[in-house]
Structure 1
C-alpha cells in the first residue's frame, strides 16, 4: 500500500491549495477529487513533462497540450501561463475535470479516469492510483483541517475570501 506523501510542502504553498479550493468552488466540483488528482499528477511549474506520444503536459495539474491547446487558445490562455501560473493551472485543471464530470453525468471516478485518458487500460490504472491518493488524503486529518481553514481565492471576484467553518458554500467573508 502506498503511503500518502504530501504533493508539496504545504507550509510554503497555502496559496496554491487555496487556488485548488477556489477552483473547486468556482466549478462546483469536489475538492477532494481535485486534491487526489493533484497528488497523483504532481507536475512542475518550471518545465513540461514529455509523454510517450510526444505530447507535453503543463504545470501542476499536467494539462496536455495536444488535448487542450485549441480549447485554451479559444479562451486566450497561453500554454506558457498554464505552465508558470500555478493558480491558473489549478483552475484549468478544475475546468477540465468539470467538463469530464458533466460527460460522466456526475460520476466522480469516471471523470477522474477521463481527466487522464479516454483509453483503457490507462484510464483504469489512473483511477486506481488516484483512489489510493484519495484514501490517504482522507486519513490525513491534520491536512484536511488545514485545507479547510485556508483562504479561498475567488477568481470571478479577483479577491481572497475566508470560508466560515461549517457554514457551506455561501458563507464567505472578504478579507
Structure 2
C-alpha cells in the first residue's frame, strides 16, 4: 500500500513498552488499518473517518509516548529510588506546564495533535485528561521530602546537615 511498514503484527502477549508503540503504529497506518477493518467487516472501520476520534487517537499516541519515555528512563542498572523520584518529579512539572499550555490552546508538546488540527471539544478533553493524569501521579507517587537523603547523592556537599546521622556515620563522611 506504499506504507513504510511491510506488515501489521498482532500479538496476544505484548510487553508494556510495545503497547504504547502500537498506538503510534495504528495512527501512522490509519488508512491501511481502516481498509483492513473494512475488508474484515468490522464495526470499528467507520471510526477512522471521524475527525474527532482521530484527534483523540493522536493525543493518546503522544501521551503514551511521553509515558513510555518516563517508564524507560526509570529502568536500568543505575536506577534507584533517588533517580526515579527525580524523574517522577520532573514529569510532574512537565504535566503542570502542559496543563497551562493546553488550557491556552497550545499543543506543542504533542506533535501528532498539532498535525491533527483538533477542535475545541477535543482540546477541553485533553486538558481534562492531563489534570486527571497529574492527580493520579500525585496519588500513586506522593511527594516525599528526600532532602535528608541528599547526602547519598553527594556526600561531600557542604550544605547537607549531618546532625540526624549517628556520630560514627558523621565521622565516616568527614
TM-score under structure 1 length normalisation: 0.27
The structure that is helix-richer by fraction is: 2
Which of the pair has the greater relative contact order for Cα pairs under 8 Å at 6+ separation? Answer: 1
Structure with bigger gyration radius: 2
